[in-house]
Chain A
Amino acid sequence: MSSILKVENVTMQFGGVVAVDNLNLEVNEGEIVALIGPNGAGKTTAFNVITGVYQPTNGAVWFQGDKIVENHPQGKMKKLYKGEEAGSYTHVLAPTPDKITQLGMARTFQNIRLWKSQTVFDNVLIAMHCRTHTNFLAASFRMNHREEQEQRERVAQLLETVGLYDVKDELATSLPYGKQRRLEIARALATDPKLLLLDEPAAGMNPQETQELTAFIGQIRSDFHMTVFLIEHHMDLVMDISDRIYVLDFGKLIAQGTPEEIQNNNRVIDAYLGVVEDA
């Protein structure tokens, strides 16, 4: 199993606040890996660094063997930086999120961000735009109709697999919550990724919907041979499907391992339930 994503000594500091502190983690091809932690532990910040929304203060991110993000403390951050790995990185690599998506990493959002005025079908179709090779003139004069036809067939197929084909002409926002989540995942899959990043896919879902989602993520892995890296609060879901789990607390990695190991790890239990102090 080769590593597809590697986060190396990543520190993300907002002024003096350290949101992610020297994070190291690795996701191998074909795995489902979860990143968990209490509220405010820095999970989404870590995601945003990986997908290019934020530029890390220090550290690097590797994807499929290539370094895609790198930074070192500069200017004002030189004084404020509290980590130790300052000297290891010398270059600055800061691609925008769209570049990273084109490299083959697709994400969903914690609070659903579908294109509201578009239909279910168009939401998925627009996500394929980043893989088109036509310029705007050729596209306007329909010189790409073969490519577009192909895309439309792929969208139909994709919607069929995720079970949304019968609602393809509805507005995205008129779908029930669980289906909107599904659509967001389908949209991410439409960008043809190697690695799927899910930011709290089960947020706001009832147990029934969560169970369906668990099955759905498993189905994605088997159908699309996808590697999945997810942030989640629902422990049932995480323990059910993940191969490995990383636990963050106050920006620091406090544990990693299989679900069983994590369940029996005292530091994790302390982080979630609080430390019992002897009177």
Chain B
Amino acid sequence: MITTRKKTNLISLLLVAAMLALVIVLDQVIQPTDSMSMLLKVLQKGSIYALAAVSMNLLNGFTGLFSLGHAGFMLIGAYTYAILTIPSEVRDVVYQYYDAAIRLSFPETLGNAMGPVGTLLGVVLAIVAAGLAATLVAWLIGLPVLRLKSDYLAIATLGFAEVVRAVFQWGKLGPVTNGSNPLKSFVRINSFQLKLGGTTISLTTFVPVLLATVCIALIVLLVNSTYGRSFKAIRDDEVAAEAMGINLARHKIMSFCISSFFAGVSGAGMAMVLGIAQASNFKSAMTYEILLMVVLGGIGSISGSCIGAMLFIAASEWWLRGLDSGNFLGINAPGIFRNGFRLVVFSVIIMIVVLFFRKGIMGDRELPDLFKKRARKEAAGK
């Protein structure tokens, strides 16, 4: 049994490495003018949304805490990252109406000291800081909020996310958050390039995919550890979990904080992909989008959340775009296919998916489980 587990781990590791290599190749082959360049856009945005969906799944699907504060934590992450990476020479341009209070730029300071490696390290540190800022806030509001259950918790966290958005847009905090104006000019994904001799390798898509992969791998490791198992026990039966010695308060806040950490990181990733951090982007509609990805993929399935996020982003950003602009699948009907029609079709598709996949695309299984089932069936057939 242990050998098969090791084998599965090895195969998954190889597949992930192959996927990352493929992303680098795609990054070089596809030019920005190609019609396939949308694929790269989808991969960039989709991977960040996948991370957000998986981190939400950790809380909603694995611990059974129905929280809707995700956009708030992502906002905190995005702003922390942006504030800590804006280079000093453009800082006054970005903060055009305010006198910037925080004048520290991790990539710049470390880059001056250690060269390109320092810049990279600075970016990584800023991303970690984004996660930690979200964690700190999660811990503070988790103490009172996690005493609530189910719907009440959802409402409280939803309210929290709205409060965070309002606070970040507050003019008095302008020197830090730039008020309701966007933060920009910070290190974003297309700043990443690898120079080998004469050739330049663009890492624009690779960076967000790598960030999401590493973070999702960490979440998978956690979910399969003894702590992940006790989270599932809390989800299945809280009373029994407590009677078996699992400290509910401690485990719930732990799950809440870890989920928020990765939400913060995905917020930082979102800022890197969009090149802009603005509080008005992180509406509760964003939380619902992420929740939709989780539900479509299957509550309690990490690979399901990834698939759900990728499909959602691909459909809304790429495949169904034509429905808004008048041309779809070779049909030219500007009368019907105009702005907003995409959302109509999209809603219908979601309804169909929900009708035919009651528990989401993956249910609570993971990708390797599908192959396991097949192997077992074959063995039984023989």
Contact = CB atoms under 8 A, between A and B. Distances in A.
Interface string A68-104: 0000000000000000000000000000111101100
A159 to B, nearest CB: 14
A113 to B, nearest CB: 4
Given A122-B229, A130-B246, A148-B226, A141 B221 contact: yes
Given A117-B364, A126-B233, A141-B221, A107 B226 contact: no
Contacts of B245: 98, 101-102, 127, 129-131, 191
Given A97-B243, A114-B240, A127-B245, A144 B229 contact: no
A188 B245 CA distance: 10
A126 B244 contact: yes
A144 B225 CA distance: 9
Interface in A114-132: 114-118, 122, 125-127, 129-132
A140 B218 contact: yes
A127 B240 CA distance: 10
Give the size range of A's interface with the partner. 35 or more
B280 interface: no
Contacts of A191: 244-245
B237 interface: yes
Q: Taking chain B's interface residues, is the majority helix, strand, or loop, or is none over half, making it mixed? A: helix
A96 B236 CA distance: 19
Interface string B233-258: 10111011111111110000010001
A191 B246 CA distance: 10
B214 to A, nearest CB: 13
Contacts of A97: 242-243
A118 B236 contact: yes
A148 B5 CA distance: 15
Interface in A132-149: 132, 134, 136, 139-142, 144, 148
A145 to B, nearest CB: 10
B232 A142 contact: no
Contact of A115 (B218, B240, B242, B258): B240
A126 B246 CA distance: 9
Give chain B's interface residue range (CB within 8 Å of chain A). 20 to 34
A62 interface: no
B222 interface: yes
B225 A142 contact: yes
A44 to B, nearest CB: 13
B177 interface: no
Given A98-B242, A130-B244, A125 B258 contact: no
Interface string A171-186: 0000000000000000
A50 to B, nearest CB: 12
A187 interface: yes
Given A101-B243, A102-B245, A136 B236 contact: no
Contact of B243 (A51, A125, A136, A144): A51
B346 interface: no
A106 interface: yes
A109 interface: yes
Nearest to A116: B236
Nearest to A124: B244
Contact of A116 (B237, B242, B246, B300): B237
A148 B225 CA distance: 9
B243 A142 contact: no
Contacts of A107: 243
Contact of B226 (A102, A114, A144): A144
Given A136-B227, A140-B218, A140-B221, A118 B232 contact: yes
B303 interface: no
A267 B133 CA distance: 66
A113 B242 CA distance: 11
Contact of B225 (A109, A114, A136): A136
B249 to A, nearest CB: 8
B230 interface: yes
Given A98-B245, A118-B232, A140 B222 contact: yes
Q: Which 9 A-B pairs have the closest CB atoms?
A: A130-B245, A101-B245, A115-B236, A113-B240, A139-B225, A140-B222, A140-B221, A127-B244, A136-B227
7 contacts: A96-B242, A113-B240, A126-B232, A127-B244, A139-B227, A144-B226, A151-B226
Given A127-B244, A129-B229, 14 more contacts: A51-B243, A53-B243, A114-B237, A117-B235, A126-B241, A129-B230, A129-B244, A129-B246, A130-B245, A131-B245, A142-B221, A142-B225, A144-B226, A148-B226
